[in-house]
Structure 1
Amino acid sequence: MTMEAPVVLWFRRDLRLRDHAALLTASKHSKHVLALYVLDDRLLKPAGAPRTAFLLASLRELDQALSGRLLVRHGDPVQEVVAAAREIGAAAVHVTADTVPYGRTRDDAVAKALAAHGIEWVPTGSPYAVTPGRVTKPDGTPYRVFTPFHRAWTRHGWPRPAETDVSLVDWVKPGSSLHLPAADDVPLPPAGEETALDAWQAFLADGIADYAAARDRPDHAGTTRLSPYLRWGAIHPRTMLADLAGNSSEGAQALRAELCWREFHADVLWHRPETARENYDRRFDRMRYDTGKTAQEMFRQWCGGRTGYPIVDAGMRQLLAESWMHNRVRMIVASFLVKDLHLPWWWGARHFMRHLVDGDLASNQLNWQWVAGCGTDAAPYFRIFNPTTQGQKFDPQGDYVRRYVPELRDIPGKAVHTLKERPADYPAPLVDHAEERQVALQRYGAITGS
């Protein structure tokens, strides 16, 4: 390969120009780089409007950063990537390696098609600080539980941020590129790398000190709100970890652990790709869930935030209003769906993926399985969140509930969680939590023998 031959940089979950290992490798191979993105229906159709709209907004920001030189195509990546590479006489296609099941299969097909035309396939790095599959037990088998994975992941460490210098790149002017329409009436955070980096620096300045405690409080702005940017790679976790290096505060330790959870779930999906759709613990294939018209109606009420449990309804309405939900509340509403309503976890997982702007296959599916009890946790079936006490603990004055459930805005303080006097326009509880908790334990006991 010579420096005169152009190369393609195919963007996927890495929509940024800083700390971009594949861009660094591409720029070392050639000064002339074509920036490419392929809109793939296999990914767009199940994504839902918010995530698609945020993707398009992120691509517009990336195109602006590239001075209008992002080539956007729509179609089968096997055809579109090969066509774009051949149009410019590219010697290679550079990518950030994908690690999810479909991405791995797609990339194998694209690499094979490129090889048939003598074009090299060059994967570098991944969307994670430590590429899934790298951290294993001493015997080479994968970790099944988070805590030992966390210890091993920390010992393993991660590379420093890639020092990319876009001034060294002559971005190839693309041919005909698709117009990227703006989204209408979709609630979105602002997109792009600059927004992500600014938000991260603001959090380091004002949020990290209180993060360990504040991250569980949905009534406070205590989380990073960076999940959509991590999802699309507007910021790399390696960047964040480098900025946290040497910081031993409780907040920094808690945030490193949260980033590790993301990496753990990606690692589980790497080793067990079937868990995107199936139970990690196959004993739970025998789990009895409710079905029929009543179950479907219960699900609709849950989706619409009409369960009669204020913290659950606030979370589900936040999802519809903002295409995002606080992480503590995600666990509460998931527990309610599976353990109070006795509905399949994958119903909830699909609903989340349709509506979340940060919907990530590994994190979403495996967090749902963790709550449902069929995932990687050792004794999960005893963890049944009481929605009332969870609301009292994490939204003690009811501010979060009143923000999203207007029927309850006149209920003062913590009384919003107990509702001794229920407004006429707010529904009665769908179920009695104490009764359904016993049903859940009986059903779990039937398959676990406990």
Structure 2
Amino acid sequence: MLWFRRDLRLRDHPALVAAAADGEVLPLFVLDDALWGPSGDVRRAHLLRSLRSLDAALGGHLVVEHGDPADVVPRVARRAGAARVHVSADAGPYGRRRDDAVAAALAGAGRELVRTGTPYAIGPGTLRTAAGTPFQVFNAYSRAWLAHGVPAPAPPARARWVRDGGPGLDAPGRPAEPDLGGVELPPAGEDAALARWASFREHALGAYEHGRDRPDLDGTSQLSHALKWGELHPRTLLHDLRGHEGPGAASYRSELAWRDFYADVLWHRPDSARGYYAPQLAQLRYESPDSEAFRAWCEGRTGYPVVDAGMRQMRSVGWVHNRVRLIVGSFLVKDLHVEWTHGGREFMRRLRDADLSSNTHNWQWVAGSGPDAGPFFRVFNPITQGLKFDPEGEYVRRYVPELRHLPGKAAHTPWEAADGYAHGYPQRIVDHARERRVALEEYARVRDRDRDRDRDRRG
């Protein structure tokens, strides 16, 4: 058996190669309530579309079961007479616990769970500092990551797919695709991801070093959802980047290294999935998320155009440009004084690429509490950030129709135009300069209290 999880592809798939070497292969996907339940509709819809694409590539052989994998996988293995169940290893806290439980259940029946490969270029837990400790600083990790190297893509697998009469994706009781309303998602599946990758290499890779910071341009690969679900593997991307040695390719490699770095952090610190990596900042005082300000942020009604454009982009396409994620995150934590965990949950609910390690640690980067994070006192000015990275206001006008009448950069400052609010755009809900001072004063309170406590201990 091959149990698909975050590896919904047939190319560059080491676990598939291992399974094919065993003989005929039964492909299985398990709809696990522990993962399906917390997922937002956008993520569920993309997953179902990706599974449908995978099933087509498998000639309709994909078996889709529902339930606890510790019960389902051994039952299907017994039904199929499979001695071994092949998987790509899972590095997440839940995935590791789940797989250990499945392995134990299989072993009790004389069967084996075989873990081959991971969803990352270099598996979490592989790299260590010279002292043998986990990396906490990205630049040092990145140097080790580059020096380690990445193996070539896995060879093509010529699997003989079989189906044991088990249910498929459209069997009774299987979930229907959620109604997303007006949310528009890109095509799902391996072929769509490879086509997007080819287009990005041709049209945007060369300018990626700077283009990746411009939300008004199509300057990023937008493959984060494909990497999340394993519709392609980062090893494939790195292999295709051979011979591309310009700053654009170097920047793209660095972004893949960040993805591996955050997965490595979560491997060593599973508590950081929900809690503070740096616990000192847990002492900051925050406003309740049960507030009109938090709802305005979620819905893109803050009165700060680039913030509102980002939040509306997420509700429109299930994705937000990375630079804008930093801007809206800083605004929530440091202008609205709402704890990063609430923003992280909103992202996990609405993003098609919602990934636990990347989402959590990017939020902690903004909040100053993560590994190698931006300092808390780095507060993004939403006006100057918008003017710098969306200089002609194209991004704002794309997602904030109330400001489409304002030309050029005027879209970022409607309060300066006589007709800036003519079409119903909301007034600013807070004064950025004032809230920045409040945030820094609160940070100074916690910092000084920690200093005093340390001084008292030294005595």
- 2:125 counterpart of 1:133: yes
Contact 1:10 1:36 in 2 (8 A): yes
How far apart are the structure 2 equivalents of 1:174 and 1:62? 18
TM-score (norm 2): 0.93
Which of 327, 332, 338 is equivalent to 1:337? Answer: 332
Which of 391, 403, 423 is equivalent to 2:421? Answer: 423
Secondary structure of the residue aligned to 1:73 is strand
Secondary structure of the residue aligned to 1:382 is coil
Q: How far is 1:247 from its partner?
A: 1.9
Report the residue type matching 1:150 in the other structure.
S
Contact 2:41 2:350 in 1 (8 A): yes
Structure 1: which 5+ residue stretches go unaligned?
Answer: 1-7
Contact 1:402 1:409 in 2 (8 A): yes
TM-score (norm 1): 0.95
Report Cα offsets for 1:215-254 as digits up to 9, x if no partner: 1000000000111100000000000001112321010000
Contact 2:366 2:374 in 1 (8 A): no
1:357 corresponds in structure 2 to 352
How far apart are the structure 2 equivalents of 1:376 and 1:84? 41
Which of 9, 14, 17 is equivalent to 2:10? Answer: 17
Q: How far is 1:182 from its partner?
A: 4.2
Which of 215, 227, 231 is equivalent to 1:218? Answer: 215
Contact 2:366 2:373 in 1 (8 A): no
Q: How far is 1:187 from its partner?
A: 2.6
How far apart are the structure 2 equivalents of 1:178 and 1:102? 25
How far apart are the structure 2 equivalents of 1:431 and 1:108? 49
Secondary structure of the residue aligned to 2:167 is coil
1:406 corresponds in structure 2 to 401
1:5 corresponds in structure 2 to none
Which of 204, 207, 232 is equivalent to 1:207? Answer: 204
- 2:112 counterpart of 1:148: no
Contact 2:364 2:373 in 1 (8 A): no
Report Cα offsets for 1:60-109 as digits up to 9, x if no partner: 00000000000000111011100110001111000000000000000000
How far apart are the structure 2 equivalents of 1:58 and 1:179? 11
How far apart are the structure 2 equivalents of 1:243 and 1:179? 33
- 2:72 counterpart of 1:86: no
Secondary structure of the residue aligned to 2:301 is coil
How far apart are the structure 1 equivalents of 2:432 and 2:221? 32
How far apart are the structure 2 equivalents of 1:446 and 1:71? 57
Contact 2:7 2:88 in 1 (8 A): yes
Q: How far is 1:376 from its partner?
A: 1.2
1:443 corresponds in structure 2 to 442
How far apart are the structure 2 equivalents of 1:278 and 1:272? 10
Report the residue type matching 1:354 in the other structure.
R
Secondary structure of the residue aligned to 1:33 is coil
1:175 corresponds in structure 2 to 165
Runs of 4+, deviation exceeding 4 Å: none
Structure 2: which 5+ residue stretches go unaligned?
Answer: 171-175, 452-459
1:51-130 matches, within 5 Å, as 51-130=43-122
| Compared CA separation, residues 312 and 44, structure 1 to 2 (3 A) | same
Report Cα offsets for 1:29-56 as digits up to 9, x if no partner: x221110000001001111000011000
Report the residue type matching 2:441 in the other structure.
Q
How far apart are the structure 2 equivalents of 1:236 and 1:16? 9
How far apart are the structure 2 equivalents of 1:174 and 1:289? 54
Q: How far is 1:444 from its partner?
A: 1.4
Report Cα offsets for 1:245-267 as digits up to 9, x if no partner: 23210100000000111111000
Q: How far is 1:183 from its partner?
A: 4.4
2:456 corresponds in structure 1 to none
Secondary structure of the residue aligned to 2:26 is strand
How far apart are the structure 2 equivalents of 1:135 and 1:246? 25
How much identity, in percent, do the aligned residues show?
56
- 2:303 counterpart of 1:308: yes
How far apart are the structure 1 equivalents of 2:323 and 2:245? 24
| Compared CA separation, residues 291 and 240, structure 1 to 2 (3 A) | same
Contact 2:62 2:168 in 1 (8 A): no
2:256 corresponds in structure 1 to 259
How far apart are the structure 1 equivalents of 2:227 and 2:370? 23
Contact 1:70 1:174 in 2 (8 A): no
